[in-house]
Amino acid sequence: MGYQIPRGTQDILPGTVEKWQYVENKAREICSRYNYKEIRTPIFEHTELFLRSVGDTTDIVQKEMYTFTDRGDRSLTLRPEGTASTVRSYVENKLFGLPQQPTKLYYIGPMFRYERPQAGRYRQFVQFGIEAMGSDDPSIDAEVMALAMDVYKELGLKQLRLVLNTLGDKESRKAHRDALVAHFEPRIGEFCHDCQNRLQTNPLRILDCKKDRDHELMKTAPSIHDYLNDESRNYFETVKSTLTDMGIDFVIDPTLVRGLDYYNHTAFEIMSDAEGFGAITTLSGGGRYNGLAEEIGGPATPGIGFAMSLERLLLALDAEGVTLPIEDELDCYLVAMGEAAKEKAPSLLYQFRKAGLKADKDYMDKKIKAQFKAADRTNAKFVAVLGEDELANGVISVKEMETGNQTEVKLEEVTQYILNQI
């Protein structure tokens, strides 16, 4: 064997790719219903963008980025997520100046993180995400969560849990941060090296530490909910009551902090409770990032969004045993017998395709029996059989595979005949 695929990446082959196309189409359809428009940004950006937005103390920036220097000596990074690029583009293209606000965008594309690969965790994965910028109306927070849940529900998932928290505004976060430092500082020596660093740089992230998760100080750590100012509390209350009015179930988890720095107010994750989904139960995550546009040189702009990976979505569908209604069949397979018929076949097949039929024929010089077998394998609805005699008489025989009914049709009418039947 010569070359192997890089660790943590996947080839998506025919037979599986149809599932990807199906879920992508579903995501696009739901975005169009919610009036989100697609944005496509580059796969790499200036490294600095991610340092400023995702945050230079986060795991993503410190351990997971694919960063390289190009031939012009610029530091570039394969995007680890989509929010930074989307907000960069929003600022750079002055989308805030367009008459229709908020700016509601979605993306579907590959992201790259140098993580330890395992089920549901890849080094290249595809995120579907949305970003709504320009509004701090709590009902748009609810809209973002509703859209995310709709994608899962409409694909047939049932064992879902929407977990919600608030991180408060700047002022509330500052008060909470100080309380966290005071709480952990006296005994920080008992925590892992990462947490010791986090104490000053990003104490909130201590709460998210996998190694120290069972330390007794974790359970008694001050909750952001005790440090919310009135504005933050009211905001959160409205988000919750809007979700309730919409009939969307959620649970509150005051320890949900998210792994990226740009969040404030609403933060949420959608989990799968399906048995067999694996150790990682998070399907998607998102939240509000007021101030991010400003941070990267734009005007003060509220924003909220979420992202899910299609890999985890497909794993969840498998775990719940959901079969997607994928149609992958040909309308017609053309079987040709004899030299003259084989010569006629390409133009006839071309005629089928121009008329909009999904059609194919043999290219491997197969015997008749093998051609029928090939037709079977394509799940063709009809098999059109062209033999020497038929050709001489200007007819072709058309067999409907489901019923076995066979009809002789004039050659010049066969395309219309099949079109009428399907």
Catalog residues that contact ligand HAM under the rule CB under 6 A: 81-83, 113, 115, 120-122, 125, 127, 129, 131, 259-260, 282-287, 289, 305-309, 311-312
Q: Output 255 or 282, the one with its CB closest to ligand HAM.
A: 282
Residue 414 C-beta: closest distance to ligand HAM, Å = 48
Q: Output 76 or 292, the one with its CB closest to ligand HAM.
A: 292
Residue 107 C-beta: closest distance to ligand HAM, Å = 10
Residue 75 C-beta: closest distance to ligand HAM, Å = 21
Q: Output 269 or 362, the one with its CB closest to ligand HAM.
A: 269
In this chain, which residue has its C-beta nearest to ligand HAM? 305
Q: Output 240 or 312, the one with its CB closest to ligand HAM.
A: 312
Residue 303 C-beta: closest distance to ligand HAM, Å = 8
Residue 160 C-beta: closest distance to ligand HAM, Å = 13
Q: Output 55 or 285, the one with its CB closest to ligand HAM.
A: 285
- SS3 for the chain is CCCCCCCCCCCCCCCCHHHHHHHHHHHHHHHHHCCCEECCCCCEEEHHHHHHHHHCCCHHHHHHCEEEECCCCCEEEECCCCHHHHHHHHHHCCHHHCCCCCEEEEEEEEEECCCCCECCECCEEEEEEEEEECCCCHHHHHHHHHHHHHHHHHHCCCCEEEEEEECCCHHHHHHHHHHHHHHHHHHHHHCCHHHHHHHHHCHHHHHHCCCCCCCHHHHCCCCHHHCCCHHHHHHHHHHHHHHHHHCCCCEECCCCCCCCCCCEEEEEEEEECCCCCCCCCEEEEEEECCCHHHHCCCCCCCEEEEEEEHHHHHHHHHHCCCCCCCCCCCCEEEEECCHHHHHHHHHHHHHHHHCCCCEEECCCCCCHHHHHHHHHHCCCCEEEEECHHHHHHCEEEEEECCCCCEEEEEHHHHHHHHHHHC
Residue 169 C-beta: closest distance to ligand HAM, Å = 17
Q: Output 314 or 348, the one with its CB closest to ligand HAM.
A: 314
Residue 102 C-beta: closest distance to ligand HAM, Å = 13
Q: Output 105 or 383, the one with its CB closest to ligand HAM.
A: 105
